[in-house]
Amino acid sequence: MMNQLNEQLRPGDLVEVRAPDEILRTLDEVGTLDHLPFMPEMIEFCGRQFKVSRRVLKTCFSGSFSTVLGFTTNDVVILDGLRCSGAAHDGCQKACMIFWREAWLRKVEGPAVQSQVDSEGIQRLQSRLKTSTGPKIFFCQASELLKAAKPMSRWERFRNCFSEVRAGNCSEVEMARRIGIWLFWRIRRVFLGRYARGSRKTTPVESLNLQAGESIEVKSIENIVDTLDQTARNRGLYFSPGMGQLCGRQSRVLNRIDKIIVDGTGEMRQLRNSVYLEGSQCGCADVVFGGCPRNEFVYWREIWLRRRGKK
């Protein structure tokens, strides 16, 4: 499909999500633009105004393998705070940041009355959008990432750091800080191995049945390492360097996490004894050269936490 070109959007720009019929005209027969789906969960934002958070020049991918991807077209942005509810995808709890093509947005000069959205236009758009490709296989932005974007080489990642600064995503100082963090963990891994690697061949399970709102304390790094294998995982779930910074601190449970759609495959994966914590999000600073815009919630095994009481 042909993209409807905007003046290139920058962080801080105010935009309005276009009307359903306008968006429909940009989509192919399966509801995508350049292989990136417009999802049913995005329809509620039509006619509303939001600020651009950042241009998406790269993103992490964590499906059957992990890598860094770059979109094949330079027209993708993230809007402040807009995450997928998963409502049209069997209640997926991944809460992905939503990717927006510029063709789906209109730059506006200042706050205005919310545009009226035609209910018939919503129905026409809804009928075009695809949510699955088979039994228990879902179709969404996460499932189609490898089609909309391609793996970046080390050189492309390095060059991309300059593009991030030019795009207004961060300052030169912030980019230098991100590169420094990545370099630190890269060197550390060469000399000391993977952070928080354990020695267990079979990792243990603990169920606390934590609920949203409960106060918890993250266990010490020594206690957590005792639950991990040599790849720093507990039953496949990775304990990252960023998570180590919360050891010994108190936090609050944001939500339980029971099922997520896997990047690249659309498979719904079941999780057990896992939760989100308030304010615990991943920028992939130790993995992605210069950080990642997906800002995904970090998954915490209950065995890494202890209950502190409930207000």
**pLDDT tens by residue, 65-86:** 888 899 999 999 999 999 999 9
Name residue 297's beta-bridge partners: 281
For residues 30 and 131, state if they share a domain.
yes
Note whether residue 268 is domain-resident.
Answer: yes
Greatest distance between any 2 Cα atoms in the chain: 61
Lowest mean pLDDT among 59-63, 137-141, 168-172, 297-301: 59-63
Same domain? 121 vs 229: no
Q: Over 50: is that where the pLDDT of 6 sits?
A: no
Q: Give yes or no: residues 132 and 52 share one domain.
A: yes
Confidence of residue 64 (pLDDT cuts 50, 70, 90): confident
**Segment 39-58, tens digit of pLDDT:** 999 999 999 999 999 999 99
Asked if 172 and 243 sit in the same domain, the reply is: no
- Asked if residue 199 is part of any domain, the answer here is no
| Structural domain span for residue 18 | 14-151
- Claim to verify: residue 36 and residue 51 sit in the same structural domain: yes
Whether residues 31 and 68 share a domain: the answer is yes
Boundary (domain end) residue, out of 101, 129, 151: 151
Q: Averaged over 148-169, what is the pLDDT?
A: 90
The predicted-structure confidence for 180-190, as pLDDT tens digits, reads as follows: 888 888 898 88
Residue 125 and residue 43 in contact, taking contact as beta carbons nearer than 8 Å: yes
Tell whether the model's pLDDT for residue 1 goes beyond 50. no
Alpha-carbon gap, residue 306 to 247, rounded angstroms:
11
| Beta bridge partners of residue 238, listed in sequence order | 233
Q: Is 202 within the bounds of a domain?
A: no
Q: Kindly state whether residues 303 and 239 are assigned to the same domain.
A: yes
pTM, two decimals, is: 0.90
d(CA 57, CA 72): 10
Number of domains the chain is built from:
3
Indicate whether 232 belongs to any domain. Answer: yes
pLDDT > 90 in the chain, percent: 70
pLDDT at residue 209 greater than cutoff 90: yes
pLDDT digits (tens, 9 = 90+) for 268-281: 999 999 999 998 98
31 with 105, same domain?
A: yes
Establish if 5 belongs to a structural domain: no
Do 181 and 131 fall within a single domain? no
